[in-house]
Structures are given as C-alpha cells and as structure tokens.
C-alpha cells in the first residue's frame, strides 16, 4: 500500500509548521501532546485527506511503541501518562489518510521530546556564626539529577516569628546575614527545579552576645559587650548603681559618657 509521505512524485503535500508541540520538563503524570496533520493536494484539488493520527512514544531506555492513543480530524491532543519512570520521552504522530495509508514507524528522536521529572532537589544547609558581630554566614548545597535548579530562595524567621523572604531567585550558594546581637534566627533555603519540584533545608543560628568584665580592687568596673564598652559605677554596698557609655562611638544609641542605666 503506498505511503502518502513518499508520493512526492504524485502529490504535493503541505505540512503545518507545528507538527507536534511539547512542553519541556513536565512533571504531571498526564502529558498533552498536540499535533497537526498533513493535507495532500493535486492541481489545487484535494485528492487525499488525512483522517487521523496515532501517538507513538519512546520511553527512557526503551524502543518506539504505539501508545494506542488516536485522534481523528485535522488536529487534536493526546493525554499521555509516562510508563517508564523519569527521564526523556520522545514522541511522534503517525498519520493515516482516508485510503488507509500511514506514515512509517518513527525512528531516532521522532518529532521531539520532553523531560519527565517528579523528584525534588535535596538541599543541605550549613550555618556558621560570627558571635561578636552578629553576622551569620550561610552555605548550602543541592543534589539534583533531573531538570536542574535555576535558583534558590532564602527565608528567615527571627525570634520564633513567621518565615519572611530574605533572598529570592539567587544563583549563588552562600549568603551573609547581619542580625541584632542576641537574636535567634531560623533560616530556610528552598531549591525549585525546572519541573517545579521543590526541596528545602532549615538551620538555626544565634547571633550571641559576648560579655567580658574588668575588675579593680575586687569590684567590676567595666563591661565589654561584643565591641561596646560600659563603665560600671558602684554604690557603698558594692552593687552597680550606674552604667555609663565607655565607647567613643557610643553605646547602641547612647552617646559616650552618658548614662545607659541606673
């Protein structure tokens, strides 16, 4: 039986510019494959008409096989459920005309392919603290074997509050966060691959306050809190009754030598 796509000597045929259209990195289990069919003409008169098409697929590591999915008419769509696990699937449509002639079995990569990926990335997060400055360094890594990760989102929760965005769609794998001394911060790094699978990791850091005291004659006379110095003034009972700022640059808003607390 003659093949309509091999009869160029008898028929002039036209093919739509979009034979098959695919979406890349689809993650849903029902994929839609769109097709348009071939129209044969001779002298401007329609002599053969394509009446339907069958979807063929090649699963990862497999051979070409008919899916059994068919459509009639001049265009349509197929709902295809992947059967061979994750990986690249290749598709082709085999058209049939009203005389029963069909295209040959697909070969190589057919009309096109799409990557099927449903596994989220695996993220690991390391938090490194700089105790004196309140600066927290975050470093993360991701394991992704599917469609790839184009960027990362970093959220932070301060003092047990709700997560809030801190960095969005960044490509680097480290960041430096500056918080207030004494804060407890929970960080979350999320990686979303090109198939919209998301994986995340969380880690807690405390920007701790470091205090050191200086004494004279058995009494505390000064305190250093991180890089800020305070003078401690005692009463006749030996208790601290007054604290003044001992840093030339001020003490968290209190000018040098002014009273911080009584």
Q: Specify whether the CB–CB gap between 201 and 186 falls below 8 A.
A: no
The two domains 4-116 and 122-206 share their CATH topology (first three levels equal): yes
Looking at domain 4-116, its CATH class is mainly beta
Alpha-carbon distance of 25 to 194, in angstroms, equals 6
pLDDT at 31: 47
| pLDDT < 50 positions in the chain | 1-46
Q: What is the 3-state secondary structure (H, E, C) of the chain?
A: CCCHHHCCCCCEEECCCCCEECCCCCCCCCEEEEEECCEEEECCEEEEEEEEEEEEEECCCCCCEEEEEEEECCEEEEEECCCCCCEEEEEEEEEEECCCCECCCCCCCCCEEEEECCCCCEEEEEEEEECCCCEEEEEEEEECCCCCCCCEEEEEEECCCCCEEEEEEECCCEEEEECCCCCEEEEEEEEECCCCCEEEEEEEEECCCCEEEEEECCEEEEEEECCEEEEEEECCCCCEEEEEECCCCCECCECCCCEEEC
CA nearest neighbour of 58 among 95, 33, 88: 88
Q: Specify whether the CB–CB gap between 117 and 149 falls below 8 A.
A: no
How far lies 132's CA from each of 101, 186, 250, in Å?
A: 80, 19, 17
Q: Specify whether the CB–CB gap between 47 and 22 falls below 8 A.
A: no
pLDDT at 208: 60
pLDDT at 21: 32
Parse the chain into domains and list their residue ranges.
4-116, 122-206, 211-261
Alpha-carbon distance of 123 to 4, in angstroms, equals 53
Listing from the earlier edge strand, what are the strands of the sheet with 184-192? 164-170, 152-158, 184-192, 198-206
**122-206, what's its fold?**
Immunoglobulin-like (2.60.40)
Structure tokens at 130: 């700089």
Radius of gyration (C-alpha) of the chain in whole angstroms? 35
Alpha-carbon distance of 115 to 87, in angstroms, equals 6
- What residues have CB less than 8 Å from 172, skipping those under 6 apart? none
- What residues have CB less than 8 Å from 209, skipping those under 6 apart? 181, 182, 225, 226
């Amino acid at each position: 039986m003659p093949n309509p796509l091999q009869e160029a000597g008898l028929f002039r045929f036209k093919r739509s510019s979009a034979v098959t259209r695919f979406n890349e990195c689809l993650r849903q289990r029902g994929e839609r494959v769109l097709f348009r069919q071939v129209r044969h003409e001779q002298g401007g008169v329609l002599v053969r008409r394509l009446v339907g098409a069958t979807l063929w697929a090649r699963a990862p590591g497999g051979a070409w096989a008919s899916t059994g999915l068919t459509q009639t008419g001049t265009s349509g769509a197929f709902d295809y459920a992947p059967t061979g696990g994750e990986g690249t699937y290749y598709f082709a449509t085999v058209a049939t005309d009203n005389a029963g002639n069909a295209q040959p079995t697909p070969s190589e990569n057919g009309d096109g392919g799409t990557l099927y990926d449903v596994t989220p990335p695996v993220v690991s997060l390391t938090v490194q603290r700089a105790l004196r400055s309140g600066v927290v360094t975050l470093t993360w890594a991701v394991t992704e074997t599917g469609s790839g990760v184009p960027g990362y989102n970093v959220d932070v929760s301060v003092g047990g509050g709700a997560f809030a965005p801190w960095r969005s769609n960044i490509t680097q794998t480290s960041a430096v966060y500056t918080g207030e001394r004494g804060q407890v911060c929970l960080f979350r790094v999320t990686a979303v691959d090109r198939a919209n699978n998301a994986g995340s990791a969380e880690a807690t850091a405390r920007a701790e306050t470091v205090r050191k005291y200086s004494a004279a004659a058995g009494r505390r006379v000064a305190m250093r809190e991180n890089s800020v110095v305070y003078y401690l003034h005692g009463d006749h009972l030996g208790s601290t009754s007054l604290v003044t700022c001992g840093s030339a640059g001020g003490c968290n808003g209190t000018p040098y030598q002014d009273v911080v607390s009584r």
